[in-house]
């Protein structure tokens, strides 16, 4: 599409674009240089500030933080997926008495801030922060998983369900045996993209005092002294982004591979990523 929006650049336009690019890069470079020099004035780049990373305990704490983050995400994902599947089946049930209450519950879950659900579980049920974080994530993400799978089922050709019913499967059997496997495969990129959202949301654990990566950073800054806040934060943020980035790449890889293998291809991850902005 983008190539349709403008002519193939000729020599003059290419020169203008090149000059524009160079000016842009210089501008961005200038901004970065300004930021770096400001940081340097604060003494950020003094070697002794970064020597904290020579202390084994710092790495141990960072490691603990990552393990805490990943384990909360893993437990939540493992519980949320089957629950989402169940909610999806209830949501598309042909019995209004099942379908409508489920819809209300789903709307409710999707309309609430995740951190509020975490705080609710933490304070009202007096659980450990881990349980609060996992419950919050499970409640929200199972609702989103349900909506994604529902979108997948609705995107299937009508004939799939009709064929299932025609060979004598009950409505429920047709959903389970014929439609769900195809819907899940089609929606795989969106489901993985939602996993990134889930992983990102574990950082909300910071707010309900779950000892994940960000809280460990705060802890280290409190113990070692505020001057170490920036180095430790910098490393932790870089780790967080790297992990999320890898999972996002995985989603794109599945999308590419899936569009070759699955009949009818898989849905693109992008619409989900947009909806997934619904955190």
Partner 1 sequence: MDVIIENLPLYWNGFLRTLFLSAVSGVIALLLGTLLAAARVSPVAALRGFSMAYVEIVRNTPLTIAFFFSAIVLPRLGVTFQQFEVAAIIALSTYTAAFVAEAVRSGVNSVPVGQAEAARSIGMQFSQVLSLIILPQAVRTVIPPLINIMIALVKNSSIAGAFFVLELFGYGRQLANAHGDQVMWVLIGVAFFYLLITVPLGLLASTVERKVAIAR
Interface residues with partner 1 (CB under 8 A) are 1-2, 4-7, 9, 13, 17, 20-22, 24-25, 28, 38-39, 42, 44, 107-108, 110-116, 119-120, 123-124, 196, 200-204, 206-207, 214, 217-218, 226, 229-230, 233, 237, 240-241, 244-245, 248, 270-271, 273-275, 277-279
Residue nearer to partner 1 on the CB measure, 85 or 276: 276
Using alpha carbons, select from 171, 159, 152 the residue that is nearest to residue 269: 152
Classify 250 in phi/psi space as left (phi over 0), alpha (psi -120 to 50) or beta: alpha
Element at 145 (helix H, strand E)? helix 129-154
Q: How far is the CB of 85 from partner 1 (least distance, A)?
A: 23
Smallest gap from residue 14 Cβ to partner 1 (A) = 9
CB of 174 to partner 1, least distance (A): 27
Nearer to partner 1, 41 or 263 (CB): 41
**Cβ pair 131, 121 in contact under 8 A:** yes
The two structure tokens encoding residue 189: 């990129």
- Residue 176 CB, shortest distance to partner 1, in Å, is 28
User: Which DSSP symbol is given to 41?
Assistant: H
Q: Which is nearer to partner 1, 20 or 82 (CB)?
A: 20
Nearer to partner 1, 58 or 221 (CB): 221
Pair 255, 269: CB distance under 8 Å: yes
Q: Tokens 């809280």 sit at which residue?
A: 215
CB of 209 to partner 1, least distance (A): 10
Give the residue with the Cβ less far from partner 1, 7 or 94.
7
Can you state the angle between helices 129-154 and 114-124, rounded to 10 degrees?
140
Q: Which of 105, 110, 127 is nearest to 205 (CA)?
A: 127
């Amino acid at each position: 599409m983008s190539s349709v929006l403008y002519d193939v650049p000729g020599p003059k336009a290419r020169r203008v674009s090149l000059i524009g690019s160079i000016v842009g890069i210089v501008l961005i470079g200038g901004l970065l240089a300004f930021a770096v020099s400001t940081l340097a004035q604060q003494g950020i780049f003094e070697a002794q500030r970064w020597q904290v990373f020579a202390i084994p305990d710092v790495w141990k704490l960072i490691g603990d933080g990552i393990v805490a983050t990943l384990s909360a995400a893993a437990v939540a994902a493992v519980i949320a997926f089957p629950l989402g599947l169940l909610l999806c089946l209830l949501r598309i049930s042909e019995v209004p008495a099942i379908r409508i209450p489920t819809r209300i519950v789903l709307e409710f879950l999707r309309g609430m801030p995740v951190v509020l659900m975490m705080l609710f579980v933490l304070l009202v049920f007096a659980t450990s922060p881990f349980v609060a974080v996992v419950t919050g994530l499970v409640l929200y993400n199972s609702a989103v998983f349900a909506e994604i799978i529902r979108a997948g089922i609705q995107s299937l050709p009508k004939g799939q369900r009709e064929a299932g019913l025609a060979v004598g499967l009950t409505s429920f059997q047709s959903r389970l045996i014929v439609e769900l496997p195809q819907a899940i495969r089609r929606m795989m990129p969106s489901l993985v993209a939602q996993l990134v959202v889930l992983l990102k949301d574990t950082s909300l654990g910071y707010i309900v005092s779950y000892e994940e990566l960000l809280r460990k950073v705060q802890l280290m800054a409190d113990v070692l002294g505020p001057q170490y806040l920036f180095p430790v934060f910098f490393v932790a943020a870089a780790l967080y982004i790297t992990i999320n980035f890898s999972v996002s790449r995985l989603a794109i890889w599945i999308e590419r591979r899936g569009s070759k293998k699955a009949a009818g291809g898989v849905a693109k991850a992008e619409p989900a990523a947009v909806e997934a902005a619904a955190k």
